[in-house]
Structure formats: structure tokens, C-alpha cells
Amino acid sequence: MIRRTSHRRVPAKARGGSGAPAIRVRRRPGPGREAGAAERRLWAALSRCTVNHRLVLAMILVERLTPREAAAALGIPVTHLERTYHRLVARLQQSLGATTTGDPQSDRPAGLLRLRRAS
């Protein structure tokens, strides 16, 4: 269960859940104090994304869900999630000034992965 909170825990009774801890999500993500210039540019680009777009990125890149699993969790068609993900990655690459060489493998910035298909 994901709740948008300002670093506060919600009691299990108020959650109405099974007692599993709620995931805390910061309202305004940002770089830490020790972040370099590249990391600050990445956070700036991510802050321009909508909450739903950041959620798609988190489900695919952080939680490592397949597109089918992420789409089911969000209640949207798989094709919509895939299209959104690819457009979002392209927009992030453009805003971060990624250069292309024509080779799809080398053009992909580190950390931006291709969608995995469920086997």
C-alpha cells in the first residue's frame, strides 16, 4: 500500500490493512547534500515528471516489476504502461542531454533498462 505522506506513519487501524507497514513516499523527491552535478540534473528532470510517471519508473526500475505486473498494479493496459515508460525515458534522455551514436546498446544511459517481458 503506497501512501503519499510527509514522513509520518499511519497506525495499522487507520490504514485498514493487514498490519503491514505502509510505504512512505516523499512529496518532493530531491538529491541529497552530497549529490554531484549529474545527480542534481537527474533529480531536476525527475521533479518535472508527474507523480504517476515517477511511480511507473519506480515500479519498473526500482521494484523490478514486469510491465504486466506494473500495469495490473496500476489498473491500466500493458500497452499504455509500455508507451508511457518509453516516452518518459526518451524525455529524460533528452532533458539530460544524452548523446546518441546509433547503437541502441551504447545509447542507453546506465540505469535506464529495457522493459522485461514476463516469461
pLDDT (0 to 100) of residue 94: 87
Which residue range forms the structural domain that includes residue 46? 33-113
Is 82 contained in some domain? yes
The angle subtended at Cα 100 by Cα 98 and Cα 105, nearest 5°, is 100
The CATH number of residue 106's host domain is 1.10.10.10
Cell of 109: 544511459
pLDDT (0 to 100) of residue 64: 92
Rounded CA-CA distance 79/77 in Å is 5
> In terms of domains, do 24 and 52 share one?
no
> What does the pLDDT look like over 26-73, one tens digit per residue?
555 566 666 677 788 888 888 888 999 999 999 999 999 999 999 999
Rounded to two decimals, what is the model's pTM? 0.55
**Could you tell me if 107 and 76 are in contact, meaning their C-beta atoms sit under 8 angstroms apart?**
no
Is 118 contained in some domain? no
H-assigned helices in 1-119: 12-15, 37-47, 51-57, 67-74, 78-95, 104-107
